[in-house]
Amino acid sequence: MWLPFSATFERNYLVMRRAFPWSFFLGHILSGVYIIVFAYLSYFYVFRGELNNRFISSAGTGDYLSYVILGGLLYSFSVSLLMIVSRAIITELREGTLEALLLSPSSRKGYYLGYMAQGFMRVGLEFFAITSAGYFFGLHLKNINWINIIVVLIVLILATFTQALILGTFMLYFRDTYITQNTLFVLMSLVCGITFPPAFLPESVALIGEIMPLTHGLDALRMVWIEGKPLSEVFPLLLKILVLGIVYFPIGAVCIKKMEKIVLEKHFG
Amino acid sequence: MIEAKGLKKTYTISKKAGFLRKEKQKVKAVDGIDLTISEGEIVGLLGLNGAGKTTTIKMLCTLLNPTAGTISVDGLDAVCDAMAVKGLVNMIAGGERMLYWRLTGAENLRYFGKLYGLHGLELEEKISSLLSQVGLSEVSDTPVELYSKGMKQRLQIARGLINDPRYLFLDEPTLGLDVPVAKQLRETVKNLAKEQQKGILLTSHYLEEVEELCDRVYIIEKGKIVLHDTPQKITETVVNEFHVSVETRTLSALEQSKLAKGLPSCKIQFLPSSDGTILEIKAPFDPTSIIIAICVEQKISIQKLELKRPRLEDAILALAKEKSA
């Protein structure tokens, strides 16, 4: 698994250096910044800095700006990771390299992990840029336990990786990236608690958020970042994310492998 | 040896059958093919478009699973032991696919080498030897997007050899290449089989290339093998017609009749020309020796004699005509 991992990492790094995907990079940063700016303007100029008690009890905090900024930050983070991994095979198909890849006896896990690890370099830059923007709009960066935040992010990355495998399967099935990915991203922005708590949604809609790792990742990140809670207190949330990952992984791995065969038959047969 | 027995592949396709209704239809792409490829041998796979050539190759190199039948590669089952078989085979396709254009030639080979489990010094030596073998050493650090079509095709050959496969599948390898580049590529293919003892399966629409390279040829039609032999025997079996054109001095009626009598099963036309007579002869065998004998006997001097042997292309055309009739 190591060789396909390092090969894919190196290949994508070289491609990124020669043709950096500026449109995706700036697009993800801007979507995170838009969420922050929109929340800032509406909070101060529409709602005059007032929050009702229902928000405070549902969100578990009265710091609305930090709540939304972290929402925008983690949303962009998840969307970038999902896009990087899920588009891997369909990009090979479009560039005409899928056959050469599938001809080799290499581990597909190593391939996807290499994709994700290299993509994380770009995602890390986006994360840093949105965090910096958030700082100017009220995100506090003092007295933060960065280790706890990194632990939450690692658990979320693992679950997002497994979710990306399922998204990739749908992309291959529909032979489309744009509509498929954006349908999921719009749904995530609605049900995962990016700018408002999912409790504000009708119960049946809020339930969809329960199967998204991002919902629980956001709750966990806000607890450790805004409220400074220890990991022991966010452990049940981390467990939920891990369970989702454990459920998604075999489904994603089996489905994407099956879909690769179907694509080969339909496309090249 | 690669041995395929009773190979079948059926695709299920959906067809529109009214508003929001679809009907599923089964299409037999390959219908019971038996074939063998030995090490050191170049085998051709010919057929018209849609005959099942590409599907057959995809099954042999493990990209597609057969619906029925078995494929054995040096005793390994291509479906059950697919990962082991992938290490023994490789495929080179025509066109400009199967390469990463933003990477350089060396980076492409490094990437694919690692996917085949090579690393370190062994990989670097392999890359340098392959690049020199295909004549791309000087442009090894140039991105592939700046390569010409011929250079990309040569790099594809290097990619196809990165795992030192025992069997190589070449799907239209000279498609769209200039004549000198295609010739050079044919030389490489010959060397791979004869010097490196690789078993090669070749599909090509350039039939002269198949005639030049292949030891044996399978002709498939609608997923079935309709002929299997050496290119020469296939041509003789299907076409069986030699064209001979002879230029002589002006022949008298008697000489013309002697020639016609000496070649009873042949069609002869005597055409007047400015310098004499042109004989156009169509025969089911090579009639040159008989023509020369008659001319010597009749003291007719031959100014020019041209023999057109039947080609594989004529055989394929004849077969296609037969099928459409």
Residue A15, judged by CB atoms within 10 A of its CB (0-12, 13-18, 19+), counts as middle
* pLDDT at site B243: 85
Q: Which residues of B touch A (CB under 8 A)?
A: 9, 11, 29, 54-55, 58, 61-65, 83-84, 86-87, 89-91, 93, 95-103, 107, 110-112, 114-117, 119, 143, 159, 163
C-alpha closest to that of A85 among A63, A113, A44 = A113
Residue B322 has pLDDT above 80, yes or no: no
- CA A153 – CA A15 distance, rounded (Å): 26
Cross-chain Cβ contact A11/B107 below 8 Å: yes
User: Mean pLDDT throughout B278-304?
Assistant: 86
Report yes or no: A188 and A217 within 8 Å, Cβ to Cβ: no
Within 8 A of A99 by CB-CB distance, chain B residues are 63, 91, 93, 97-98
Residue A78 has pLDDT above 60, yes or no: yes
Cross-chain Cβ contact B98/A19 below 8 Å: no
* pLDDT at site A24: 80
Q: Report the chain A residue with the minimal C-alpha distance to residue B58.
A: A269
Quote the Cα angle for B86-B87-B88, to 5°.
Answer: 90
* pLDDT at site B324: 64
Q: How far is CA B135 from CA A201, B37, B122, B229, in A?
A: 65, 28, 20, 34
* pLDDT at site A221: 93
* Candidates B99, B101, B115; nearest CB to A7: B115
Tell me the CATH architecture of domain B2-237: 3-Layer(aba) Sandwich (3.40)
Rg (CA), chain B: 25
Cross-chain Cβ contact B116/A104 below 8 Å: yes
Quickly tell me which residue has 């023994």 as its tokens.
Answer: B88
* pLDDT at site A4: 92
| E-only strand ranges, B98-215 | 167-171, 199-203
Within 8 A of A4 by CB-CB distance, chain B residues are 114-115
Eight-class DSSP state of B251: P
User: Mean pLDDT throughout B272-290?
Assistant: 86
Cross-chain Cβ contact A7/B102 below 8 Å: no
Q: Report the chain A residue with the minimal C-alpha distance to residue B163.
A: A104
Cross-chain Cβ contact B97/A97 below 8 Å: yes
φ, ψ of residue B101 to 5 degrees: the values are -70, -25
Interface test with A, best of B115, B159, B171 (most A CBs within 10 A): B115
The domain locations on chain B are 2-237, 240-309
CA distance A104 to chain B (A): 6
* Candidates A14, A105, A265; nearest CB to B103: A14
How high does pLDDT run on average in chain B? 87
User: Mean pLDDT throughout B7-11?
Assistant: 91
Q: Which residues make Cβ contacts (< 8 Å) with residue B155, sequence separation at least 6?
A: B99, B105, B108, B109, B134, B136, B144, B147
Fold of the domain built from segment(s) B240-309: Alpha-Beta Plaits (3.30.70)
pLDDT tens for A88-115 read 999 998 898 999 999 999 988 899 999 9
Q: B142: pLDDT confidence band, cut at 50, 70 and 90?
A: very high
φ, ψ of residue B73 to 5 degrees: the values are -115, 110
User: Mean pLDDT throughout B16-43?
Assistant: 87
Beta bridge partners of B245: B280, B306
A55-69, A223-237, B14-28, B241-255: range with lowest mean pLDDT: B14-28
Residue A182 has pLDDT above 70, yes or no: yes
* pLDDT at site B50: 78
Q: Report the chain B residue with the minimal C-alpha distance to residue A263.
A: B64
User: Mean pLDDT throughout B256-283?
Assistant: 86
Q: Which residues make Cβ contacts (< 8 Å) with residue B167, sequence separation at least 6?
A: B2, B37, B39, B73, B88, B89, B90, B198, B199, B200, B201
- Using a pLDDT cut of 90, give the percent of chain A over it: 50
C-alpha closest to that of A105 among B300, B87, B251 = B87
C-alpha closest to that of A24 among A36, A16, A35 = A16
Domains B2-237 and B240-309 share a fold: no
pLDDT tens for A194-206 read 989 998 999 899 9
Please give the distance of CA B161 from its chain centroid, rounded to a whole number.
Answer: 19
User: Mean pLDDT throughout A154-166?
Assistant: 95
Query: Can you tell me whether residue A166 is helix, strand or coil?
Result: helix
Report yes or no: B107 and A17 within 8 Å, Cβ to Cβ: no
Please give the distance of CA B20 from its chain centroid, rounded to a whole number.
Answer: 43
pLDDT tens for B77-108 read 999 999 999 999 999 987 778 999 999 999 99
Quickly tell me which residue has 């693992």 as its tokens.
Answer: A158
Residue B319 has pLDDT above 80, yes or no: no
User: Mean pLDDT throughout B230-245?
Assistant: 80
For strand B216-221 and strand B42-46, is the pairing parallel, antiparallel, or unpaired?
Answer: parallel
Predicted TM-score (pTM) of this structure: 0.82
* pLDDT at site B96: 78
Please give the distance of CA A26 from its chain centroid, rounded to a whole number.
Answer: 16
pLDDT tens for A224-248 read 998 889 999 999 999 999 999 999 9
* pLDDT at site A25: 83
How high does pLDDT run on average in chain A? 89
Q: How far is CA B145 from CA A149, B103, B110, B142, B179, in A?
A: 42, 8, 17, 8, 22
The domain locations on chain A are 1-268
User: Mean pLDDT throughout B157-183?
Assistant: 87
Residue B323 has pLDDT above 80, yes or no: no
- CA A71 – CA A221 distance, rounded (Å): 9
* pLDDT at site B325: 63
Cross-chain Cβ contact B112/A100 below 8 Å: yes
User: Mean pLDDT throughout A243-260?
Assistant: 94
* pLDDT at site A5: 94
